[in-house]
Structure 1
């Protein structure tokens, strides 16, 4: 679905990405782990077209990635949910839909997506500030899937959540990926998330993919950087 080949990016003379090679297979959940400052966010932003690599290529369905066309079939769950404070929850979920269809239809879809992530209809007209952190995160997930995108990105999806809500979000992500056959990329420090949602895992270290494999293979991997990351719980 998406392939990155020899991606380099430098900011103010400091190399951040130093030749990243990574493929996000169609319908699979790819999770990128790595210490803070390893380049995970820059990697994600490069795919989104928010950062232009200095060199290397990014392809989408075997053609050069067109950011505008890509974003039309894309959803994202942001680290802090990133809901619009002044809009009721249903309008947050239907933000893109309201540009494409009549308001009643957009609201109906928003209610359907809210129900999919376990939020009742009475949440729809509330403002984000009246919801708990876990409810806001679920509303953000409902927005990410509102247009039934084929590609979804998750930025630290369980940060700031208690263990019970984190498990809920992980389960929702895993189920939605399975149901929709979406291609997903997640960046996280949470190894519970890795084991819950990943089909493949990539360790980004000093701007390069140092290790790549399945969650099951991590247990027997001998790479010292991977083992240090797993042991530290970074």
Structure 2
């Protein structure tokens, strides 16, 4: 569904992306990992059109990406949820919906999506400042799926959450991706999230894809040893 071909991006003398080739199949869940500053978010911004690459292109179903059509088909869970402070919970969830339908219908859909992420209807009229971190993440997730997108992007979905809440969000994401058949790209540094959310994991290092393979095989990948806390020389022994 999505393919980046030779994607490159520099900021001044620093090359952040260096001819990145990456594919995501329809209905697949890809996790992109890497150290801070390796270009994970820049890659996501280039796919979304928030940054213009210096070279390369993004393909959508094999064709040059039609930005307007693509933007109508995607959902996004931002790092920190990024809720609008001046809007209530349901208005946040229904933000896109309210641009094309009346509030009564938009609110009904918002309540349905809130229920899907485990939130009761009695929080619909609360303001973001009244929510805990975990609740805010769930509201952000409800907003991401409100318009039944074909593609969902998750930017560090578990950042700032304790391990129990983080794994609950991971399980929700995995369930939603499986249930809807959406294509998913997750930017994360959390290897526990990769194991739950992802079908494939790609490691971005020095501007290039240093590893790309199934999540089920990542314990045997030497390139991932540092992220898994396994001494490189012992990756094979660990896998056995």
TM-score (norm 1): 0.97
1:135-159 alpha-carbon deviations (Å, 9 max, x no partner): 0000000000000000000000000
The DSSP-based 3-state class of the residue aligned with 1:157 is coil
User: Where does residue 96 of structure 1 map in the other structure?
Assistant: 96
Structure 1 unaligned runs (5+)?
none
Q: CA deviation at 1:103?
A: 0.8
The DSSP-based 3-state class of the residue aligned with 2:229 is helix
User: Where does residue 227 of structure 1 map in the other structure?
Assistant: 225
For the 8 Å contact 2:16–2:207, the answer to whether it is kept is yes
For the 8 Å contact 2:219–2:228, the answer to whether it is kept is no
1:6-57 alpha-carbon deviations (Å, 9 max, x no partner): 1111111210000101001100100000000111000000000011111112
Return the alpha-carbon distance in structure 1 between the equivalents of residues 175 and 45 of structure 2.
25
Q: CA deviation at 1:176?
A: 0.4
The DSSP-based 3-state class of the residue aligned with 1:141 is helix
Structure 2 unaligned runs (5+)?
231-240
User: Where does residue 233 of structure 2 map in the other structure?
Assistant: none
User: Alignment length, in residue pairs?
Assistant: 230
The DSSP-based 3-state class of the residue aligned with 1:219 is helix
User: Where do residues 37-48 of structure 1 align in structure 2 (5 Å cutoff)?
Assistant: 37-48=37-48
Two-structure CA RMSD over aligned residues (Å)? 0.9
User: Where does residue 206 of structure 2 map in the other structure?
Assistant: 206
Q: CA deviation at 1:230?
A: 2.1
* Greater CA drift, 192-201 or 65-74: 65-74
Give structure 1 regions of 4+ aligned residues with deviation exceeding 3 angstroms: none
User: Where do residues 73-92 of structure 1 align in structure 2 (5 Å cutoff)?
Assistant: 73-92=73-92
TM-score (norm 2): 0.94
The DSSP-based 3-state class of the residue aligned with 1:138 is helix
Return the alpha-carbon distance in structure 2 between the equivalents of residues 19 and 114 of structure 1.
40
Return the alpha-carbon distance in structure 1 between the equivalents of residues 225 and 154 of structure 2.
24
User: Where do residues 76-225 of structure 1 align in structure 2 (5 Å cutoff)?
Assistant: 76-223=76-223
Return the alpha-carbon distance in structure 2 between the equivalents of residues 107 and 197 of structure 1.
29
Return the alpha-carbon distance in structure 1 between the equivalents of residues 222 and 125 of structure 2.
51
